[in-house]
């Protein structure tokens, strides 16, 4: 046996472990159905580097892992959708076709390249009815999972998926779906991510033509205000005015200088 030989099984295991560790370092992303479509929720402190994007009229994209790697996949998906929609018909561009394209590319890279991509992707398509909705989750090795109702990936994906399973129900309103997603993304006893660090988007079947819509600003605030435990705002509360009842009364200066405590003075020589 030549020196440095590794079996194909060992090489594949090492690639898979490497990719899983890289994906687990990121923050989780949640995708779930609600009564009017599909909602994407992701903690994301960046306002320029998006984890959630639009691919085509009815198709949305979400990813975790290395940004440069899943951004290349996203752009490739947009080119595929535009070319097929222009060459044939817009209805010929489907989430399943896009998921198959991603699965083929991810599987080939995982098998042939020294380093696999550190990404996990969700392709979601909204239908005319909830029965026509589709959520496909793709892993780094090209495996495809047809998810029903919800999907979680990245970070502590198993724990997040467990909390989703406990709280998810069909035909939820958008506000209820956001409540379920934020509860699943929050560790027990932890604090929810602030509003400024949330990336939220929907595929709304009731919209004309393009179904994808980002929820930001006042619109997102109104939806989160309907939840039982909205995320904390990053804006500090205003200081009380000088004449308000919360302002403590001024105190008069002491009539004599304060004295030191009784006992020996600590000169710093005693051990902690």
pLDDT digits (tens, 9 = 90+) for 182-234: 999 998 888 888 888 999 999 999 999 899 999 998 999 999 888 766 665 55
Look at residues 7, 11, 19 and name the one whose alpha carbon lies nearest to residue 141.
19
Look at residues 103, 99, 66 and name the one whose alpha carbon lies nearest to residue 81.
99
Share of the chain above pLDDT 90, in %: 72
pTM listed for this prediction: 0.81
Q: What is the pLDDT of residue 239?
A: 53
Over residues 238-264, the mean pLDDT reads 49
Let me know the angle formed at the C-alpha of 99 by 201 and 208, rounded to the nearest 5 degrees.
Answer: 40
Q: What is the pLDDT of residue 257?
A: 47
Q: In what order do the strands lie in the sheet with 52-56?
A: 52-56, 59-65, 119-125, 134-138, 144-147
As a whole number, the mean pLDDT across the chain is 86
pLDDT digits (tens, 9 = 90+) for 5-25: 888 899 999 999 999 999 999
- Name the pairing type of β-strands 212-215 and 52-56: unpaired
């Amino acid at each position: 046996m030549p020196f440095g030989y590794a079996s194909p099984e060992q090489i594949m295991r090492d690639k898979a472990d490497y990719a899983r560790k890289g994906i687990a370092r990121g923050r989780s992303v949640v995708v779930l159905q609600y009564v009017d479509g599909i909602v994407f929720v992701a903690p994301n402190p960046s306002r320029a580097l998006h984890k959630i994007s639009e691919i085509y009229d009815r198709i949305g994209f979400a990813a975790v892992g290395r940004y440069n790697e899943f951004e290349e996949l996203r752009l490739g998906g947009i080119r595929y959708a535009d070319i097929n929609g222009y060459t044939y018909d817009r209805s010929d561009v489907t989430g399943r076709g896009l998921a198959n394209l991603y699965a083929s590319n991810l599987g080939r890279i995982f098998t042939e390249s020294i380093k696999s991509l550190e990404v996990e992707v969700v392709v979601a398509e909204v239908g005319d009815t909830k029965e026509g909705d589709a959520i496909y989750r793709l892993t780094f090795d090209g495996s495809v999972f047809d998810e029903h109702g919800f999907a979680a990936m990245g970070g502590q994906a198993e724990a997040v998926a467990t909390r989703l399973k406990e709280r998810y129900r069909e035909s939820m309103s958008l506000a209820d779906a956001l409540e379920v997603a934020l509860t699943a993304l929050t560790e027990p006893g932890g604090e929810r991510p602030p509003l400024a660090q949330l990336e939220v988007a929907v595929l709304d079947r009731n919209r004309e033509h393009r179904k994808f819509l980002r929820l930001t600003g006042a619109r997102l605030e109104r939806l989160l205000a309907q939840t039982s435990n909205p995320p904390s705002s990053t804006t500090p509360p205003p200081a009380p005015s000088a004449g308000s009842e919360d302002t403590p009364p001024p105190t008069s200066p002491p009539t004599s200088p304060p004295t030191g405590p009784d006992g020996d003075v600590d000169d710093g020589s005693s051990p902690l």
